[in-house]
Amino acid sequence: MRHGKKFNHLGRTASHRDAMLSNMAISLIMHKRITTTLAKAKALKKFVEPLITKSKQDTTNARRVVFSHLQNKYAVTELFQVVSPRIGDRPGGYTRIIKTGFRKGDMAPICFIELVDFDENMAKTPKKATRTRRSRKSTAAAAPAAEAPQAAEAAETTEAPASEPATEAAE
């Protein structure tokens, strides 16, 4: 019986699956974002998040444990020196999966998986300070005044082409 065997085998043998997840984890650590199928991304998330948690402690034993999974010293160095300091205060959830659509050939769901703290587009931007009600009235009064010169310039540009055909018709 297969009680308690819940992880996705991805249609591969154990050795092939381990090698594939290791290579994908190396690519994710080095490039911070990779595109793959949804099933592989979910399997990769379960594979790489414990390694990132382990990298929070920069000890020799932690490096050896991570290296036994990745087998790439450049990825281990990147993980411990670049990735780990940026995610040090985060209590888990180091990766984000965003669905992008379906692959053309076989309609497999495609997504990209990325390290959360390395995406500048999704990073929270500081909000502007809200102003008092009095200052909003003054900016609202200044806004129509600023639009008036732009409207006058727009009227001049529309009048110039209209006057040219009139002179040609007179000739």
Please give the Cα distance from 62 to 92 (Å, whole number): 17
pLDDT band at 119 (very low <50, low <70, confident <90, very high): confident
pLDDT band at 130 (very low <50, low <70, confident <90, very high): low
Q: What is the mean pLDDT of residues 130-145?
A: 62
Contact 78, 30 (CB under 8 A): yes
Determine the pLDDT at residue 4. 87
Domains of the chain: 14-118 (3.90.1030.10), 126-171 (no CATH)
Please give the Cα distance from 122 to 10 (Å, whole number): 30
Helices (H) and strands (E) in the chain, counts: 6, 3
φ/ψ of 138, rounded to 5, equals -70, -35
R_g (Cα) of the chain, nearest Å: 28
Of the listed ranges 33-47, 98-112, 136-150, 153-167, the one predicted with least confidence: 153-167
Contact 110, 101 (CB under 8 A): yes
Please give the Cα distance from 14 to 20 (Å, whole number): 10
Please give the Cα distance from 90 to 77 (Å, whole number): 20
The whole-model pTM stands at: 0.69
